[in-house]
Structure 1
Amino acid sequence: MFIPKIYKSEDEELMKEIISENAFALLISDKEKLSATHSMFLVNENEGNFYLETHLSKANFQAEVLKDGDEVLCDFLGANSYISSSWYDHKNVSTWNYEAVQIRGKVKLMNDDELYEHLRKLTFKYEKPQKCPMFVENMGDEYVRKEMKGAFGINIIPNEIHIVSKLSQNRDEKNTENIIQNLSETNDSGALKIAEKMMKYLKITKQNI
């Protein structure tokens, strides 16, 4: 991932936020052929070691070829929005503000117990806010383990982490405020999220002056 220095972030909490809020992301591999699968990811930390969890259908080509130690790329796109050049007080080009994370790492295949725990945590995350949540514990161990036979679970141990937060850091205060105002007047959730993050960035910048 190419990231201009001005937009590069080292904020691990931002990374976790982007992954957690945009967990349906791309798992990319080039084992035998270039392949990509949209799949659900979880962030995990074990004794300070950060890694990702996901699973695929065993019928998926990636599930057939990926082995321990193979390299994959995980791509997470966070909040993003078009930025019109008409919002500037001078002639310039339009652009796109966005936040994203790319993680390159090594595959470690899950055993059955790890896959069970992965599915339990994943189900809990998305069932918890439901009116009548159906947790793995409610399904019965026998049923869950039967369904698990069609799943291929992997952990991804990172060796490269790239975080980008492009929030018009190259614009002066007046133009930044113009962008925020225009984004805030839309009904687009991505635009509103970017506006919120830009306001936070602008506030921090003013405090540091």
Structure 2
Amino acid sequence: MYRPADFVEERAAHLHRIVQEHPLGAIVTLTDQGLDANHIPFMLDPARGAHGVLQGHVARANPMWTNVRDGAEVMVIFRGPQGCISPNWYPSKHETHRHVPTWNYEVVHVHGRLRIIDDEKFVRGVVARLTRRHESAQPRPWKMGDAPADYLDAMLKMIVGIEVDITRLEGKRKLGQNREPRDLDGAVDALQERGDTALSVAMAATRNQD
């Protein structure tokens, strides 16, 4: 990934945050038929291994888990807030007119080794953790016990567990760090006015990067 110095992000806490806040990852694998990508919600366990471990599952009918060998190198892409930034939002544009539109975003490339885990206990645990996390905001969160046991057992048999042992994290946060403070402020204010809170908050946070 092309990463100009202003936009390089190497702090594990920030990279883990992006993954945890935007858990739908695009896992890229190399098969005999060429490159393949699948979009899977992942759970990150940052405490395991040197860089953490991703856990998820795929449909048993998905050839992804049979088209790659266990231990194969993979990349998983997680994208945070993103959007187009208009030069009209920069005060300096109205003085010099030397600005063009650009696209700001946060992204993490997770490199690691794939582990296929075709085990009912593992799959049940992954589903339980994903459910607890993503149902927690509901007034009455759905839980696995709400479904009939025979139905749930049948559904679990239709999926296969996967893990990615992370070997390297590569992050990029292109959020206007190379702009004049007044231009950054102008873009943040314009995004807030348009209701793009996530990107405006991410950009505002670059003012006091630790």
> TM-score scaled by structure 1?
0.87
Give the corresponding residue for 2:101: 94
Give the corresponding residue for 1:116: 124
Show CA shifts across 1:149-183 (max 9, x none): 11021000112211111111111112111211222
Give the corresponding residue for 1:81: 83
User: Is 1:201 matched up with 2:206?
Assistant: yes
SS of residue paired to 1:19: helix
Q: Structure 2 CA distance, aligned partners of 1:45 and 1:200?
A: 23
SS of residue paired to 1:34: strand
Give the corresponding residue for 1:130: 138
Q: Structure 2 CA distance, aligned partners of 1:92 and 1:25?
A: 33
User: Structure 1 pair 100/150, CA: closer, same or farther in 2 (3 Å)?
Assistant: same
Identity %: 24
Q: Structure 1 CA distance, aligned partners of 2:183 and 2:162?
A: 45
SS of residue paired to 2:42: strand
The correspondence for 1:57, drawn from 53, 56, 59, is 59
8 Å Cα contact 1:9-1:165 kept in structure 2: yes
**Residue 145 (structure 1) shift:** 3.1
Q: Which consecutive residues of structure 1, in runs of 5 or more, have no partner in the other structure?
A: none
Q: Structure 2 CA distance, aligned partners of 1:34 and 1:197?
A: 32
Query: What is the identity, as a one-letter code, of the residue corresponding to 2:12?
Result: E
**Residue 138 (structure 1) shift:** 3.8
**Residue 9 (structure 1) shift:** 1.0
The correspondence for 1:106, drawn from 104, 109, 113, is 113
Q: Which consecutive residues of structure 2, in runs of 5 or more, have no partner in the other structure?
A: none
8 Å Cα contact 2:120-2:157 kept in structure 1: no
User: Structure 1 pair 133/174, CA: closer, same or farther in 2 (3 Å)?
Assistant: closer
Residues 1-209 of structure 1: matches in 2 within 5 Å? 1-32=1-32, 33-47=34-48, 49=50, 50-88=52-90, 89=92, 90=96, 91-110=98-117, 111-139=119-147, 142-187=150-195, 189=196, 192-202=197-207, 204=208
Q: Structure 2 CA distance, aligned partners of 1:6 and 1:36?
A: 29
Q: Structure 1 CA distance, aligned partners of 2:134 and 2:184?
A: 36
8 Å Cα contact 2:82-2:199 kept in structure 1: yes
Show CA shifts across 1:108-127 (max 9, x none): 12232221111110111122
